[in-house]
Amino acid sequence: MAMKPGSERRIETRRRVWRMRRIRLGAGASLLLSFVLALTAAGFAHALAMRRFVRADLSRGRRHALTDVSRRLVASLTNTVEITVLLRSGRELADVTRLLAEYQAASRAIRVRRVDPDRDIAAMNELARRLPVAPVGCIIVQSGDRVRVIEPDALYEVERRPARAGIETVPRAFRGELAISSAIHEVTHTRAPVVYALAGHGERAVDDVERFRGLASAARRLQQEGIEVRPLLLSEETGIPADASVIWIAGPRSRIPQPVLDTLNTWLERGGRAMILLDSGVQTGLESWLRRWGLDIGDDRVVDETRTLGGGLLVSRFVQHGATARLRDLACVFYQPRSVEPSPETAGPAAGLDRPRAVPLALTSDRGWAERDYLSPPWSFHEERDRRGPIAVAAAVERGAPGTLAAGIRAGRLVVVGDSGFVANGAMVSGNADLLLGAMSWLLDRREPLSIPPRPIDPVQISITRSGLRWLALGVVLIVPGLVASAGLLIAWRRRA
């Protein structure tokens, strides 16, 4: 049967259309199958990479890689350590974030979270209720009920240089790994030391929030350092608690009974530690007792008309000692200072291990003096009754040494400061806080438990001439955008053609 003209052509056309549809459907199915297979392979590769991966620090000097000391520390963790970062944006946050990523990669026991102190108000309130610290602009390291707070000042070694606006602070080395690893070691491997604040004789109270009298801010700073602070009403019946690490006597306003002094003396002779703060014009009974420990507490008022600040005495001259190690280019302000001078027979190492060895910690300038007639201001120096400076207003005493006394008895230590107002709530600024914390660290034999050197910060500088800077600006503003625009116009023209 003969076909109509054009029928063969229509049939061939339909065949070609169906053939093209089958090719397209096959290509689409093949493409979809390839996509699914590729996605599956990528998923397997990602899962494998999450379990088996290699981290490498390619920065100059391996700035962010953990040392072997930190790796061994986090590898030995059996409890979870939570690290909360409350730093604001800036260099500190960037450096700490990169460093903490290495800690998390080294151990699953490390958990890190970032809380913005300016935006995460609910999280900040929750931290303030849960922790006995003021969590603003710091790093909180916690394991169980042990908490250690790292202040931003502990992250860097700085160098102070003169500048047009005064003194410029320039970071010289990054100490973040030492600070964080030491905090992790402390909250997981050591027992929290306990400082007992003596009460019952008009001393400043550690729970008092009054600006000029209370010690609530000082107690909070000690708690941030991982030190527990508790009040103590000492009597013949109770005695000094067995878990006491340091006895803190802050500004008594009345005489302390002799039985209390005897109890304290016995405890110190057995290796106890104490920090005593005495104000000018108050006789507490500690003055005569401290002579047995090699200190002469003057009945005077230390004055320096050239070094006053806000009605207080500004002291910036410190003897190099473990108790003053935190005071780097800082000054302290004392408000009712009296002299605290080491006795000549107890000063220096010649005193022997069986006798107290006293050293001054903080001294006035050469123009300061010890005013004997301090009840009749205004004060002026009189050669016949007053003592010319430098006058010591703080001293440290140590008696005995490890290995020289009976087994198990450590050396007794004392830090005496001729003022208690420097640790009041309104005075915990500048070097005052560092003197308190440094003295407590020396009394507690606190040293860095880990040997991690700071990492120098090498500034990166690009040297470019004025002509090169103009060419760079021209390339960024005109050449690069022009090339991108030209490529877009060329593609559009070719599509239309």
What average pLDDT score do residues 117-145 get? 80
Residue 41 lies in a domain: no
Per-residue pLDDT tens digits for 83-115: 999 988 788 888 899 899 999 988 899 999 998
Q: Can you read off the two tokens belonging to residue 489?
A: 């116009």
Residue 266 shares a structural domain with residue 351 = yes
Say if residue 336 is in the same domain as residue 417: yes
Residues 68 and 128 in one domain: yes
Same domain? 350 vs 373:
yes
pLDDT of residue 404: 43
Q: Which of 399, 424, 443 is the last residue of a domain?
A: 443
- Residue 284 in domain: yes
Average pLDDT value for residue range 213-223: 90
> Band of the pLDDT at 191, cuts 50, 70, 90?
confident
The answer to whether position 339 is within a domain reads: yes
Q: What Å distances lie between residue 169 and 158, 165, 166, 273, 326, CA to CA?
A: 6, 11, 10, 36, 16
Number of domains forming the structure of the chain: 2
Which CATH number goes with the domain that contains 174? 3.40.30.10
Closest CA to 414 of 221, 223, 271: 271
Q: Looking at the structure, do residues 180 and 229 belong to the same domain, yes or no?
A: no
User: Is the domain of 106 the same as that of 153?
Assistant: yes
* 368 and 223 housed in the same domain: yes
H-helix or E-strand containing 105? helix 91-106
Is residue 23 in a domain?
no
Structure tokens at 192: 């929290």
Give residue 117's domain range: 62-190
Q: Average pLDDT of 201-219?
A: 92
218 domain-assigned: yes
Residues 210 and 165 in one domain: no
For residue 80, the model assigns a pLDDT of 92
Q: What is the DSSP letter of 190?
A: S
E strand or H helix at 179, and its extent? helix 176-189
Query: Looking at the structure, do residues 250 and 179 belong to the same domain, yes or no?
Result: no
pLDDT for the residue numbered 403: 42
Confidence band, pLDDT 50/70/90 cuts, at residue 406:
very low
Same domain as 111, residue 141: yes
Helix (H) or strand (E) run with residue 253 in it: none
Q: Does some domain include residue 406?
A: yes
Is there a single domain that holds both residue 315 and residue 368? yes
Q: Is the pTM above the cut of 0.85?
A: no
The Cβ of residue 32 has, within 10 Å, a number of other Cβ atoms equal to 10
Q: Is residue 16 part of a domain?
A: no
